[in-house]
Structure 1
């Protein structure tokens, strides 16, 4: 095994030029409870772009190695490790300390690529508690998409009140979480209403199983339109809210009584003149919850469902090399991707 490897570090908050490649970083050492992983693939999230721009609201360590999503092969284990052995294919857990139950303050401080060193490197040492076995049906590129986007979608649909056959799910756009939500919902026998802004993406969403697609540029009041598409106009049971304040008003118009709106992003920006208030939740008799990925037990549950249903993550056709990370960040920033954008270390 090599003594040095390539890794990226976030050295500031001045934009993507804050990303620096170290081509001779020491390979991490393995402590008694650690697992050394040769990383083969990683995938990017909007959060990765926000960190070097100083726009991430959670803890970030100085000079951190970025990236939360990683897939690779175990090459060494500490003497106290029980869950893994050399040769196992594994995936990283987003918050390394979030093993079960609700997220707590301590677990927020264990986020890969933010509070602790992440996956955009060739080798990584992780606690055995912070890894799960990769579904055998997936490639490394496909597996690397599950850590954040996959588990976030799963938590949104099952973390508070489990999705049921016949429920209606509303997704927004064609990012990684939204695509996973379409796939998980269809596998569960639910109906999907998706929103997008282009005809080309409309056809792709339908190909992944979306029952109805609304172009939000052509139909600004898409929330009301979505509600009309449900039986008796009662509304949808689960909404994955990725736009933030800019789209919440429409989500509230689409939600059914006792439905759940899971806020998982703020792509529409953090400020909006006509933000809904708390009384809007009361008037719609719904639950609005913030979702920060999910725990390890949910990850393992999701992986079993992925294998049982033959679900294949959607990976963008363009895959970047590790040395091309800045170009990958810009490609994603320019919203040129469809599904998950991946980095290959092989």
Structure 2
């Protein structure tokens, strides 16, 4: 029997994690091209914290159902759906209308857990065109980490100038995107340099394949250390999650005509006030903003994940009733890799 009621979280106000509210809601009727997904697991992003605290500037709908990344199984298909059936294991793309090609404003407005309702719910109605099959060797918890963090890393490293074997890749930190970038780069034969303020986290990065690690607390001039490691050449690609606090050093660490992929702004360091435009010009480098990726890129990434038998790094799994605790753990920044909420017990 098709369910008609779901338990879901909402944010009636954007005043912090404590505003999360769990309640029951009626499911909307399926249209011809929709599917009903039973959500098994949801992974959290730094974006989810920003949404909860009202700091997500692109805009969020009122009383949003939060979170963008989920994995589940199809339990009902619309009358016009082709290629999917009950029981299929699927993820939804972050922006449900981003099928292929470049980002547009209308595509951006189809992002789950922001402009439209997200996935922190037991059941979710989704358009069939946004779905991607889950790699067979991954659990639902592992698969829930793919739509944002993994695809962002893949889009960065396989963008206009894809990384190749032997390239130097610098990943800042050990959060979800950075760890996925480390894994994808290592699987492709690139040389990874990882930074963190924690030796414990750097040990984990080495276990995952990082060739070089830098504790930026012990080595504040980490950009100079990167240049030493690369014999003065600089790195080919940088996964830049720090933002204004780290970008000046990233510009020094990148090679001539290299790529800096800007993804976040986690750094609490003050900006050096450098003339970033002139720094970029002097290196003839490229600074590229990443807004996740398309469904086609998701499918390409999954082929690499299957071929390399990659498994996402999950730090901790919380129950559906512990959603607030999961948010708080993410906020603590104690994690390595991803924080997941298991919806189905």
- Same fold by TM-score greater than 0.5: yes
Q: CA RMSD in A?
A: 1.2
**Of 26-35 and 71-80, the range deviating more from structure 2:** 26-35
Gaps of 5+ in 1: none
1:75 & 1:139 partners in 2: Cα distance?
Answer: 18
Contact 2:246 2:269 (8 Å CA) reproduced: no
1:101 & 1:136 partners in 2: Cα distance?
Answer: 27
> 1:282 corresponds to which residue?
281
> 2:245 corresponds to which residue?
246
The 5-angstrom pairing of residues 148-297 of structure 1 reads: 148-230=148-230, 232-269=231-268, 272=271, 274-297=273-296
Matched, 1:16 2:14: no
> 2:109 corresponds to which residue?
109
Spell out, residue by residue over 1:13-32, the C-alpha distance to the aligned partner (whole angstroms, 9 max, x if none).
1111221111x211332110
Q: CA deviation at 1:276?
A: 4.2
Equivalenced residue count is 343
Moved >2 Å (runs of 4+): 269-273
TM-score by length of 1: 0.97
Corresponding residue SS for 1:14: coil
1:276 & 1:174 partners in 2: Cα distance?
Answer: 28
2:242 & 2:109 partners in 1: Cα distance?
Answer: 25
Contact 1:174 1:201 (8 Å CA) reproduced: yes
Matched, 1:302 2:301: yes
> 1:52 corresponds to which residue?
52
> 2:8 corresponds to which residue?
7
> 1:29 corresponds to which residue?
29
1:28 & 1:256 partners in 2: Cα distance?
Answer: 51
> 1:70 corresponds to which residue?
70
2:84 & 2:174 partners in 1: Cα distance?
Answer: 35
2:277 & 2:187 partners in 1: Cα distance?
Answer: 33
Contact 1:223 1:254 (8 Å CA) reproduced: yes
Spell out, residue by residue over 1:133-164, the C-alpha distance to the aligned partner (whole angstroms, 9 max, x if none).
11111000000000000000000101221111
Q: 1:4 to 1:13 in 2, by over 3 A?
A: same
1:270 & 1:106 partners in 2: Cα distance?
Answer: 34
Spell out, residue by residue over 1:262-295, the C-alpha distance to the aligned partner (whole angstroms, 9 max, x if none).
0000001596352542111001110001101011
Q: 1:276 to 1:340 in 2, by over 3 A?
A: farther
2:321 & 2:122 partners in 1: Cα distance?
Answer: 11
1:39 & 1:339 partners in 2: Cα distance?
Answer: 21
